[in-house]
Structure 1
C-alpha cells in the first residue's frame, strides 16, 4: 500500500525531538548518571538520618563509616552533573564518574564486610559507640552511664525481608557503581 507523498516527507517524531529537554538527558550520559547518583545518595542519607533521629536506631561505627561515600557522592555527583551540563571536557567527566564509581564500590565492600560481621562470618571492630554523656548535668555519673546505649556492629537492629541496613547499603552502593559504569561507558563512546 503506497503512502501519500506528504506522509513520506514528514520526519519521524522521536522522544528526543518531541521535547528539547529529553534530548539533553538522553544525549548526555554523564549528566544523567552523576545526577542519578547524587539523588540516590541524598535519599539514602535522608533514610539513614530518619532511622537514626526518628526511629531512634543508633548507628554503630561501621554504619557511620558507610555514610562517608554518600557524603562524597552528593556534592561530587552534583558537581559532575553541573560540569556535564556545561559541556566540560570529556576527561573531567570521566574522572568524576570514575571517582563516583570507585567510592560506591568501596562502600559496597565495606557494607559487605559489615553484613558479614552481623552474620558472624568474621570478627568485627572492637570499638563501640553510644550517645555522649553530659557530665555537667546534675545527678550521679553512674545513673547517666546506665542510660548509655552501646551499639555493637555485630548486632542487627533492623531487618526488612531478611536484609539488614548494611545489606541494603551493599545493594544501593552496587546500584550507584553500575550507574557510574554506565555513565563512564556511554561518555567514553560519545
Structure 2
C-alpha cells in the first residue's frame, strides 16, 4: 500500500473530521452565497456531518492517550454509523426529488405559521423568497442534485470508515 494511503487510513478520524467540516462549509456556502435555502431534509442531512465530526474529534482526543489508542476502532465504527445515517437521508431525499416515494409532509413549504408582514409582502408582490420543498431539486450538476451528490460522498466516507475500522480492529 502506498505511503499516502497508509497515512490516510491510519489518521482516518482526522480526515473524517476534515470531511465533515468541509461538507458543512459547502452547505453553508450554497446557502449564504448561492441563495439556496435548505429544506427540512437538507438540514437533517447536515446533522450526520455534525455527528460524524463530533465523534471524530472526540476520537482524536481520546485516542491520543497511549492507553486508549486501542479504542480507535470504536470511534471508526461510530463515524461509519454516522455516515451510514447520512447516506440513508441523502438517498431518501434524492428519491423524494425523483418522485420515487413521497417526502415528508413538513417539507412542502406549507404547514407553518405565516406572519402578517409576510402576507402583506406576498400581497404587494415584494416577497422574493419561495419556501424550499424537499421534492424539488433546487440545483443539479451532471443530472444529480445536491442530495444525490451528498449520497455519493456519504457512501465514499462510509467505505473509508469501514476500511479504517477493519484495519484498526486487527490485533496488533
Same-fold call, TM > 0.5? yes
Aligned residues: CA RMSD: 2.7
- TM-score normalised over the length of structure 1: 0.75
- The question of whether the paired residues in 2 share the 8 Å contact of 1:107 and 1:173 is answered with yes
- TM-score normalised over the length of structure 2: 0.82
1:33 corresponds to 2:6: no
Aligned residue number for residue 152 of structure 1: 133
Instruction: Evaluate the alpha carbon distance shift between residue 65 and residue 27 of structure 1 in structure 2; reply closer, same or farther with a 3 A threshold.
Output: closer
Count of residues in Structure 1 that have an aligned counterpart in Structure 2: 162
Aligned residue number for residue 120 of structure 1: 99
- Kindly report structure 1 stretches of 4+ aligned residues shifted beyond 4 Å: 132-135
Structure label with greater radius of gyration: 1
Instruction: Evaluate the alpha carbon distance shift between residue 26 and residue 152 of structure 1 in structure 2; reply closer, same or farther with a 3 A threshold.
Output: closer
Rounded to whole Å, the distance in 2 between the matches of 1:145 and 1:84 is 55
Aligned residue number for residue 5 of structure 1: none
- The question of whether the paired residues in 1 share the 8 Å contact of 2:9 and 2:163 is answered with no
1:74 to 53, 73, 79: 53
- The question of whether the paired residues in 1 share the 8 Å contact of 2:8 and 2:15 is answered with no
CA positional deviation for 1:85: 3.2
